[in-house]
Amino acid sequence: PAIARSDFARDFLWGCATSSYQIEGGVRAGGRGDSIWDRFCEQPGAIRDGSSGAVACDHYHRWPEDLDLGRDLGLNAYRFSIAWPRIFPEPGARPNPQGLDFYSRLVDGMLERGLQPWLTLYHWDLPQHLQERGGWNERDTVHAFAEFADVVSAHLGDRVKHWITHNEPWCTAIHGHFEGVHAPGVKDFRTALQVAHHVLLSHGLALPAIRANVPDAQAGIALSLHPLSAASDRPEDIAACVRHDGLRNRWFLDPLHGRGYPADILERCAADAPAVLAGDLEAIAAPTDFLGVNYYFPEIIAHAPGAAPLEARVVAREDVARTAFGWEVAPDGLGALIRRIEADYDCAPIYITENGSTWDDVVGADGQIDDHQRRDYLVRHLAALRDTIAQGSRVKGYFAWSLLDNFEWAEGYTRRFGLTHVDFATQQRRLKRSGQWYRAFLKLEPQQG
Ligand code: PNW
- CA-nearest residue for atom 21, ligand 1, is 224
**What is the interface pTM, i.e. ipTM, of the complex?**
0.91
Atom of ligand 1 nearest to the CA of 409: 9
Is 311 a catalytic site residue? no
Of 24, 299, 342, 354, the catalytic one is 354
| pLDDT at site 446 | 54
Helix (H) or strand (E) run with residue 268 in it: helix 263-268
Substitution candidate for ligand 1 out of 224, 226, 244, 334 with most atoms within 8 A of CB: 224
Atom of ligand 1 nearest to the CA of 356: 12
Sequence-distant (6+) residues with CB within 8 A of 282 are: none
Closest by CA position to 320, among listed 312, 331, 328: 328
Whats the size of the chain, residue-wise? 449
Condensed to tens digits (0 to 9), the pLDDT of residues 292-341 reads 999 999 999 999 999 999 999 999 998 999 999 999 999 999 999 999 99
Where do the DSSP E strands lie in 277-316? 290-294, 299-303, 312-315
Peptide bond preceding 235 in cis form (omega within 30 of 0)? no
Return the DSSP state at 115.
P
Contact 117, 82 (CB under 8 A): no
Separation of CA 444 and ligand 1 centre (Å): 30
Q: What is the pLDDT along the chain (449 residues), one digit of tens a residue?
A: 789 999 999 999 999 999 999 999 999 999 999 999 999 999 999 999 999 999 999 999 999 999 999 999 999 999 999 999 999 999 987 999 999 999 999 999 999 999 999 999 999 999 999 999 999 999 999 999 999 999 999 999 999 999 999 999 999 999 999 999 999 999 999 999 999 999 999 999 999 999 999 999 999 999 999 999 999 999 999 999 999 999 999 999 999 999 999 999 999 999 999 999 999 999 999 999 999 999 999 999 999 999 999 999 999 998 999 999 999 999 999 999 999 999 999 999 999 999 999 999 999 999 999 999 999 999 999 999 999 999 999 999 999 999 999 999 999 999 999 999 999 999 999 999 999 999 999 998 654 43
Which residue type does 47 have?
A: I
Closest by CA position to 214, among listed 259, 256, 281, 151: 151
- CA-nearest residue for atom 8, ligand 1, is 408
Q: Is 314 exposed, middle or buried (0-12, 13-18, 19+ CB in 10 A)?
A: middle
Four-residue CA torsion sign, 1, 397, 288, 189: positive
Separation of CA 234 and ligand 1 centre (Å): 31
Atom of ligand 1 nearest to the CA of 417: 12
Separation of CA 198 and ligand 1 centre (Å): 20
Substitution candidate for ligand 1 out of 182, 351, 354 with most atoms within 8 A of CB: 354
Q: State the helix-helix crossing angle for 59-73 and 433-443, rounded to 10 degrees.
A: 50
Of 24, 168, 299, 408, the catalytic one is 168
Atom of ligand 1 nearest to the CA of 402: 9
Task: Name residue 302's beta-bridge partners.
Answer: 313
Substitution candidate for ligand 1 out of 171, 252, 300, 414 with most atoms within 8 A of CB: 171
Closest by CA position to 14, among listed 371, 443, 448: 443
Atom of ligand 1 nearest to the CA of 411: 13
Return the DSSP state at 358.
-
Separation of CA 180 and ligand 1 centre (Å): 15
| pLDDT at site 448 | 44
Rounded Cα gap, residues 68 and 449, in angstroms: 30
Helix (H) or strand (E) run with residue 207 in it: helix 189-213
| pLDDT at site 93 | 75
Separation of CA 278 and ligand 1 centre (Å): 32
pTM: 0.97
| pLDDT at site 445 | 67
- CA-nearest residue for atom 20, ligand 1, is 224
- CA-nearest residue for atom 9, ligand 1, is 408
Separation of CA 93 and ligand 1 centre (Å): 32
Closest by CA position to 425, among listed 51, 18, 41, 57: 57
Separation of CA 225 and ligand 1 centre (Å): 10
List pocket residues of ligand 1, CB cut-off 6 Å: 19, 22, 167-168, 171, 224, 294, 296, 354, 401, 408, 417
Closest by CA position to 228, among listed 170, 301, 175: 301
- CA-nearest residue for atom 13, ligand 1, is 408
Is 354 a catalytic site residue? yes
Condensed to tens digits (0 to 9), the pLDDT of residues 224-280 reads 999 999 999 999 999 999 999 999 999 999 999 999 999 999 999 999 999 999 999
Separation of CA 449 and ligand 1 centre (Å): 37
Atom of ligand 1 nearest to the CA of 325: 13
| pLDDT at site 449 | 36
Return the DSSP state at 173.
I
Distances (CA, A) of 352 to 60, 199, 251, 347: 26, 21, 20, 14
Rounded Cα gap, residues 38 and 40, in angstroms: 6
Contact 137, 189 (CB under 8 A): no
Phi, psi of 400 (to 5 degrees): -75, 135
Atom of ligand 1 nearest to the CA of 168: 5
Separation of CA 26 and ligand 1 centre (Å): 23
Sequence-distant (6+) residues with CB within 8 A of 267 are: none
Return the DSSP state at 360.
-
Substitution candidate for ligand 1 out of 409, 417, 419, 422 with most atoms within 8 A of CB: 409
The 3-state secondary structure of 2-63 reads: CCCHHHCCCCCEEEEECCHHHHCCCCCHHHCCCEHHHHHCCCCCCCCCCCCCCCCCCHHHHH
